[in-house]
Amino acid sequence: MTGSALRVWLAVIVLGVASFTMVTTEFAPIGLLSQIAFDLGQDQAAVGLAVTLYAWIGAASGLLSAVLLQRCPRKPLLVVLMLVLSATNLAAMHSHSLEALMLARAVGAVVHGFFWAMAAAIAAQIAPLDRMGVATAIVFGGISMATVIGVPLVNLIGQTSGWRTAFGVIGAVGLFASGLMAGLLPQIQAGSPTGWRALAAVLRRRDLRRIYAVTAFMAAANFAAYTFIEPFLGQIPDVPPVMIGVMLFGFGGAGFLGNVLTGFLIDRFMKSVITWGLLALSGALVGLGWFGPQLEISLVVALLVI
């Protein structure tokens, strides 16, 4: 591999690290919910809004980025976005009220949406033409790594050093990633601007609106439950705190395996994969709700369905 080719793939890997940091930031409160609620004197449902608010703002900012950011040069934009994300994690670390935490999370969500709207496309743009799929897979692999490693690791850091330290560590990783991007990403010109009319035309398409609706309901159901999985698991009798991190790791690993299997099956059996996936998700949520955390069998059920 030549020096220039090595630099290209290092740049793609750095984008993967940045995506890992972004998604770990998004899901961090999930592994720390009980600690944050206790420390801030809030109930867990209120703190759960730190995940919900982040998700909806991130989705909206990602949609608007095609109109608002197309004229911006890509490299400095990505570096600045990562620096701002790090600052929001450090702000969350020093938050002493729910309102301050929510403000930090809201700013981070805007940055998150902007980043995801362009990260995979930039990876495909800088990679060789015959390796664009590999490049985008590396970037999206940051999502899987965040759920497999990021959330359980954040939970373990929180157990040993507190939730504030966990946010500080994520902020430090973001600073590291921004430095790597500044040194390794090539200069990338801004794309062609997308107007409001083009965005409205997409939203007016009935077929796409149906897809948006299904995706929104599925994601809402999944993450409404996932947000509160840490306090739920903590109520299961005789479960040591370290086991919660292990089960969160199992959840992330199952999600990664599901992504791999879907990649093999989706082209040939798209409708069946989506239908059975939704039914399985519904069954898992009903199973957790039916057995509840107080029954002895609930640990086995939790391991099976998460």
Sequence-distant (≥ 6) Cβ neighbours of residue 118 within 8 angstroms: 65, 69, 74, 77, 78
208-232 residue pLDDT tens: 778 778 777 777 777 777 777 777 7
What percent of the chain clears pLDDT 90, i.e. is strictly above it? 23
Domain boundaries, the chain: 1-194, 206-306
Mean pLDDT of 226-253: 76
Residue 304 has pLDDT above 60, yes or no: no
Distance of CA 280 to the CA centre of its chain: 21
Please tell me the predicted confidence (pLDDT) of residue 214: 79
112-137 residue pLDDT tens: 988 887 887 788 788 777 777 778 87
The region of weakest confidence among 28-32, 89-93, 101-105, 190-194 is: 190-194
DSSP string, 131-159: GHHHHHHHHHHHHHHIIIIIHHHHHHHHH
Please tell me the predicted confidence (pLDDT) of residue 219: 75
37-71 residue pLDDT tens: 999 999 888 888 888 888 889 888 887 777 777 77
Minimal CA–CA distance to 170: which of 76, 30, 47?
30
Hey, what are 106's tokens? 């809201």
146-164 residue pLDDT tens: 888 888 889 889 989 999 9
Superfamily of domain 1-194: MFS general substrate transporter like domains (1.20.1250.20)
